[in-house]
Amino acid sequence: MKWTLACLAMLLPAAFSCAAQVPMPGDQRMDAAEAARLQAAQAAAAAWHARAAAELAASGQARDLAFAATLLQLADWTAPERAPPDSDAPSQASPRDRRVDQWRRLASARAGGDVLANALLMQGDGPDNADVRAQALQRWRRVEPDNLAVHLYAGGDAAWLPQAGAYARLDMHYYEQLRWMQAALAAHPPRADERALLGGDVPVDEAAALAAVGILAAAAMPGLQPLMEACRDDALDQTPTRRADCRRVGQVAADTADTGLGASVGIALLQATAATPAQQADARERRRRLDWRMIEWGRVTTRQPDQGAAQFVRLLRDRAVRGERDLVERVLAEAGVSPDPPAGWQPPRR
């Protein structure tokens, strides 16, 4: 059942594109029977998501409506019919259910200053959701004016960089979203027949946590390209303060980001804006330390029988784990692995 557990979080269109393209544990590709089983699991996940969406939306609460819209949109995706195991055909989208946009608009009207509800509304994509996202970001900015995440989610150019000194953190509330989504899915669990297809021996809280991880992986992430383009090469000299502004953003992201992605972006900015040997050395050491932790985290979890799922769920329950940095440190500590690389260690060549 390891393959089912490993792939459960990938039963979504952005992370899952035909079973043949998903590597098996041990780097093996799926045969026809395994691909058929995974496609059946995808159908079971879609049925679970659609039913949970309707049940959540019935509450009328902003968070429930926002997440229900996400679940229903994911449930609208179906695998290609009769796709052979060696096919590279992508998943196909079915016609969008009208309730998706209705629920998002209703959630937006009721979200107010609830940061988590507004963050959940960032999961919507496409032109139909542009106004809802913009309104949610305005509300989020009013509550957390010092949070860089709001500008990154807004996309567009980096005209806000001259105000970089006003930002003190990069917090996407990633683990808060994970916890809330897990609780919501666990409260509306898959039926017995769906559980059998999704891996009947997987506890409901684990299945809910892995599904939440997959949903966040498939959901819209902040747009980083405008920031990175504004903070490299000749663009650093476009204004007198550009280098300092970019460096401030990099420092905030590297020090405070609640995800490894955010920390990596911050380090990249510190590398791009380093103007002295000391700054260059600091950026290199930060990158080396982050690479070590990410590599060792992967090594430790993949050696566990369940790919680290039970440990992840246990740590997710601990409110002291505020973000990915805390989670990785705890996983490494439990495995007896130092959070800092040995002297002279270098990551594999990219």
Greater model confidence, 218 or 246: 246
Last residue of a domain, one of 199, 222, 245: 222
Q: 256: domain range? A: 224-350
> Among candidates 73, 68, 76, 72, which has minimal Cα distance to 106?
68
How are beta strands 77-78 and 92-93 bridged, if at all? Answer: antiparallel
Residue written as tokens 């040995």? 342
Judgement on whether residues 145 and 263 belong to the same structural domain of the protein: no
Judgement on whether residues 28 and 147 belong to the same structural domain of the protein: yes
Angstrom CA distances, 329 to 114, 288, 297, 306, 332, stand at 29, 15, 9, 19, 5
pLDDT at 2: 39
Asked whether residue 84 carries a pLDDT value surpassing 60, the answer given is no
Judgement on whether residues 228 and 216 belong to the same structural domain of the protein: no
How much of the chain exceeds pLDDT 90, in percent? 63
pLDDT at 4: 46
Last residue of a domain, one of 222, 237, 267: 222
Helices 174-187 and 62-75, axial angle in degrees (round to 10): 80
Judgement on whether residues 273 and 150 belong to the same structural domain of the protein: no
pLDDT at 94: 55
Asked whether residue 270 carries a pLDDT value surpassing 50, the answer given is yes
Judgement on whether residues 53 and 200 belong to the same structural domain of the protein: yes
Contact 42, 9 (CB under 8 A): no
Last residue of a domain, one of 222, 247, 275: 222
Judgement on whether residues 202 and 231 belong to the same structural domain of the protein: no
Burial 280-300 (b: 16+ CB within 10 A, else e): eebbeebbbbbbbbbebbeeb
pLDDT in tens, 5-32: 445 454 443 332 222 223 334 445 668 8
pLDDT at 95: 61
Judgement on whether residues 133 and 143 belong to the same structural domain of the protein: yes
pLDDT at 12: 42
Judgement on whether residues 237 and 208 belong to the same structural domain of the protein: no
Judgement on whether residues 164 and 245 belong to the same structural domain of the protein: no
Judgement on whether residues 233 and 184 belong to the same structural domain of the protein: no
Say which range, 41-55, 82-96, 164-178, 307-321, has the weakest mean pLDDT. 82-96
Domain count, the chain: 2
Judgement on whether residues 185 and 261 belong to the same structural domain of the protein: no
pLDDT in tens, 86-134: 445 444 545 678 999 999 999 999 999 999 999 999 998 767 788 999 9
Judgement on whether residues 275 and 285 belong to the same structural domain of the protein: yes
